[in-house]
Amino acid sequence: MAYAKKVDKNQVLVVKALRDYGAQVHHLHMVAKGMPDIMCCYADQTILMEIKDGADKKLTPDQIKLFANWQGGPLHRVNSVEEAISVLKLYDEQE
């Protein structure tokens, strides 16, 4: 049975800010349970981000499992536009 995944209230703002900063952003939140909300392509990196609209918002059990077992590239949880941009800035410093 298909269902609509609830999107955190700040996701639109975070995605816009990331794009304005120069990242390509692709939505993943409808791909599978536990999948992070977005994939960013920035500074020759592929970065996955789970967007929450506050530090008190908990990860789902599927998200906890994915974070615990992830063996791929960068995976971040962000709670705000500022946190999302700070993730991209980590890759600015590597260039």
| pLDDT averaged over every residue in the chain | 90
- Beta strands (DSSP E) in 1-95 are 24-27, 38-42, 45-51, 75-78
Please give the pLDDT value at position 3: 46
Contact by Cβ (8 Å): 50, 63: yes
Q: What is the pTM of this model?
A: 0.88
Please give the pLDDT value at position 75: 97
| pLDDT at residue 94 is higher than 80 | no
Contact by Cβ (8 Å): 74, 43: no
Please give the pLDDT value at position 5: 64
Which CATH architecture fits 11-92?
Answer: 3-Layer(aba) Sandwich (3.40)
Please give the pLDDT value at position 1: 39
Which run of H or of E encompasses 72? none
Q: Give 17's Cβ-side CA count (13 Å radius).
A: 17
| pLDDT at residue 4 is higher than 70 | no
Q: What does the domain layout of the chain look like in residue ranges?
A: 11-92
pLDDT, tens digit, for every residue of 40-74? 999 999 999 999 998 788 999 999 999 999 999 99
